[in-house]
Structure 1
Amino acid sequence: MKIFAYGSNMNLNRLKNRVSSAVKISNGFIEGFSLECSKVSIDNSGKATLIRTDNKEDLVWGVLFEIDNKEKPHLDRAEGLNFGYDESVIEVNDGKEFHKAQIYFANDKSIDDGLKPYNWYKAFITEGAKENGLPIDYIRKLESLKSEQDENDERRIKNENILKIK
């Protein structure tokens, strides 16, 4: 099945930690949305979500991946499906054609505009965007997201180590 990763799952190390079958298809974008890190999470930080703007000029870039259907429950668990994240199918434009792909997005009850992502979470997003060659203007936009230090050293170190795997 195809998934569209627009947040931390753009980072291949992060995604492969969750679903080993992930294979990149292409980069792509969706129109009429913006990316925010306002999804409430159990670690009290903000996670990435899509916010509908209905403005065709607003683009969220990401990466289309193919994953084995048998591994989808692993990704659902990692993403917290039905615990703040819902899922949908969306059309992703890769510049040549449209692909139907599954996405996760925060439901209305799980959004808090006052949240910030932890530095390591923002790094998953920005490093994933860079390693996949997303447009430089979009990468700069991601780099401008405000973030904060995770005071839980164990969690921070664990995630920083995933970022360092090559």
Structure 2
Amino acid sequence: MAALRRRDTDAGPEPVVRTGGGLLPFGVVDVDGPSMVPTLYDGDKVVVKYGARIRAGAVVLVRHPMRQDLLVVKRAAERRSKGWWLLSDNQFLGNDSRDFGPVPQELVLGRVLLRVSPSVGWLAPAHWLERLLCRWPLGRVPGLAARFGVARGRLSPSR
């Protein structure tokens, strides 16, 4: 798959990404910035499924609503009437929906499925697996849900 790479010169806490293109609904994206720590770190490579169904808790790739040439990775906290409310996993950094409001559905490009580098990590389990990992007895195993990309207790959208 040929990759079209794009570099953004904006330095700052926002996760700038460079994305691949092609005929397949999948692409590899480089994450740049600390806003998704501890889920994703600067330099991680992730696989995105373009056009995938989004649900609350998913890590998504979107066009920044104020700078649509900038692609960002955020967590979809909840769906609102005007779009998705997106949050950074790193609560100490802004530049998410707390700053720019809900992101329209047409700016949501896809769902981040897994991290492939530097280590493999699944970020989008099936809905049935997510429910299973949150219930007893598996829900009692420390860190198990997080290893499968289930975000529990992290989503606290402010209105």
The normalised TM-score by structure 2 is 0.29
Structure possessing the higher relative contact order (Cα contacts under 8 Å, 6 or more residues apart):
1
The normalised TM-score by structure 1 is 0.28
